[in-house]
Structure 1
Amino acid sequence: MTHILYADRPFPDEYLDLVDGRAEVVGPDDGFDTAVGVIAGMFPWTGEAMDRFASLKVISRAGIGYDTVDVVAAAQRGIVVCNAPESPTVSTAEHTIALMLAVARELPRQTARAGHGLAGPVVPVETLELAGSTLGLVGLGRIACRVARTALALEMRVIAHDPFLDVCPVPGVELVPLAQVWASSDIVSLHAPATADTYRMVDAGSLEVMKPGVRLINCARGALIDHDALLKALESGHVAGVGLDVTDPEPLPEGHPLLLHERAIVTPHIASSTRAGRRRLFEHAIDNAIAVLEGRPATIVTSL
């Protein structure tokens, strides 16, 4: 039996081998009547969106986060929700490290100086060396664990807070209270999901207790940060630099001060978008959807 899967974003031809003989992928122009599964990107899957499908059985996220899916509405309609927690781990961890290095060494600012022919007075460059610095991780899931191992290899001290862990999964990483992450880190990297508890967890209050000159990295969810408070901390110099792959709203409006700030790097939610990473996103999402439809084990967020 060939399953009909609806993709809410363009499905690349190079991934058709992932469904060959197993499923047919349709999109917005093909109608919704026959689709029994959804391969979900960042489209908001509300109850109203689900109701456009007559026979929907599963929504399978191509990624870790499922905050774009109303899981309560899905359960009420008998729809299983899946995610793909393994698929973006390598690429997102690498992007996090890339932003850490770029922000620590002030690459946007120094690239701009070079582009202007080093005009103006000679100013000593005193950027942050990672070796010997403290990295604080908020959340210690798959991506954060990979970031931690890389940071340890770079001779950083790594501390982490995760309310769901009693034992640290990475030797050499110290589990600490969240307040200690804020107060002790030279670089803070966010790896928490977007929930009511984590909404704008980086606000004026938490920024105030961070070390002067702290760097902040976010490849998780934009809603974790109060961007107005962050901008004020950047402009005052209390925060020395930020690297953001996610924002709130997303994308930021053209001309937003964070997009123009010389000590901010903003990338357009591409942390998982390596060639290998994107293929894994689709592969795992498709495998999960078909597994649910065929009654086999899958990575299920909420079952019925």
Structure 2
Amino acid sequence: MYGFTTIDCTFQVDEVGLEEVPDVIHNYNICVVKSLRVDSNIIAKANQMKIIMQYGVGLEGVDVNAATEHKIKVARIPGSTTGNAVSCAEMAIYLTMGVLRKQKEMDTAIKHKDLGIPVGETIFGKSVLILGFGAIGVEVSKRLRPFGVKILATKRNWSSDSLPCNIDELVDKKGGPEDMYEFAGEADIVITCMTLTNETAGIVDHKFLSAMKKGSYLVNIARGRLLDYDAVFNHLKSGHLGGLGIDVAWTEPYDPEDPILKFSNVIITPHVAGVTEYSYRTMAKVVGDVALKLHSGEPITEIEFVN
């Protein structure tokens, strides 16, 4: 967590240890959250706070209702304008290639001095389902196109003005949430890009995984709790799920001894999809611009307020 406090026309910027936050948050006007859970107890002490801003797009760690009660604005930094969506999309490609080419088995082959194994798969010719066609989903599709794949996508509302005008060039078949099971049966690879809400938590469950082709692959670069843990474990164990690539987990930091990580067709990265020099640099500029505008009283348009 980082805190900002305005002093005349200059800014004091402090990096605050997580354990110190409850004791010092009353000193700050802007709170920039990375990984801390900002609950009602912390918010109640933030009596000078104007804005709580997530350094990224996920706000499930902030008690928005408590902030609203204390007249504190809560906002996310839009991924489409900061490089976060681009960075996450690249990680989706990385994880997809990793499970297709059997990254864990390649590591084992190196240790055993084996050559020519394992036999992996190409992404070429595959059908890919993108669950959630927002900013990240759009960027994933752009990067998948050159591989020669068929792209299916689901989105709650396809009339959004935020979608690119060339949407038909990015998606071969589009549908709503009601189509996800049908699309799952057509896809060789499913990439989840959804926002985590009460409605989407556990949406990739036994029913959905059973609808997927036997041997197909699942990649998650959104939020861990979109996937039902027991359903994923059982479909990996049975062999119905051909591989799993995740940058996010059900609890974080993730237990390195978790049974799911014991499968040879599972690869994991430590929630770093959006953590790149490019995205962090551009998000830092947004934070600075917001601080300046808050101080001057100008309208703040760089971030997406949720309350």
**Counterpart mapping for 1:230-241 below 5 A:** 230-241=232-243
Q: Aligned partners of 1:69, 1:90: CA distance in 2, in Å?
A: 24
Per mean C-alpha deviation after superposition, the further-off stretch among 28-37 and 215-224 is: 28-37
Structure 2 residue aligned with 1:24, among 12, 36, 44?
Answer: 12
Deviation at 1:41, TM superposition (A): 1.0
Specify which structure has the higher proportion of helix: 2
Most deviating of 284-293 and 220-229:
284-293
Indicate the residue corresponding to 2:32 in structure 1. Answer: 39
Distance 2:294 2:65 in 1: 18
1:89-108, CA deviations, whole angstroms, 9 ceiling, x for partnerless residues?
A: 12111111111111111121
Distance 1:106 1:22, change over 3 A: farther
Tell me which residue corresponds to 1:195. Answer: 197
CA distance in 1, matches of 2:182, 2:290: 38
* Residue of structure 2 in register with 1:288 after alignment: 290
Shift of 1:297: 2.3
Q: Which amino acid counterpart does residue 49 of structure 2 have in structure 1? A: L
Q: What is the number of residues matched between the two proteins? A: 285
Paired residues for 1:66-105 under 5 Å: 66-86=59-79, 87=82, 88-105=84-101
How many Å apart are 1:285 and its aligned residue?
A: 3.3
Quick one: which of 221, 224, 232 aligns to 2:223? 221
Alpha-carbon distance between aligned partners in 2 of 1:44 and 1:286, rounded to the nearest angstrom: 22
Alpha-carbon distance, 1:151 to partner:
0.7
Counterparts of 1:253 and 1:105, CA distance in 2: 25
Relative contact order (alpha carbons < 8 A, sep ≥ 6): 1 or 2 greater?
Answer: 1
Return the offset for 1:203.
1.2
Question: What percentage of residue pairs aligned between the two structures are identical?
Answer: 26
> Which digits, 9 at most, give the CA deviation of each residue in 1:33-86, with x for residues without a partner?
320110111211222111122211100111011111121211111111111123
Q: What amino acid maps onto 2:73 in structure 1?
A: V
CA RMSD of aligned residues (A): 2.3
Q: Tell me how far 1:249 sits from its aligned partner.
A: 0.9
Pairs within 5 Å for 1:153-168: 153-166=146-159
1:61 aligns with 2:54: yes
Tell me what 2:304 maps to. 300
C-alpha deviation, 1:240, in angstroms: 0.8
Residues 104-155 of structure 1: CA distance to partner in whole angstroms, max 9, x if unpaired? Answer: 1112112212321239xx97x5432211100100011111111101111111
Structure 1 residues without counterparts, runs of 5 or longer: 1-5, 12-20
- Runs of 5+ consecutive residues of structure 2 not aligned to the other structure: none
Do the aligned partners of 1:75 and 1:302 also contact (CA within 8 Å) in 2? no
Quick one: structure 1 residues 287 and 180, their matched pair in 2 at CA, closer, same or farther if it must change by over 3 Å?
farther
Runs of 4+ in structure 1 off by over 6 angstroms are none
Match of 1:16 in 2: none
**2:278 is matched by which residue type in structure 1?**
A
Checking the alignment, whether the CA contact within 8 Å between 1:38 and 1:289 is kept in structure 2 is no
How far 1:22 moved relative to its partner?
Answer: 4.6
Cα–Cα, structure 1 residues 259 and 292, in superposed 2: closer, same or farther, change >3 Å?
Answer: farther
Mapped to 2, the partners of 1:300 and 1:80 lie a distance apart of: 10
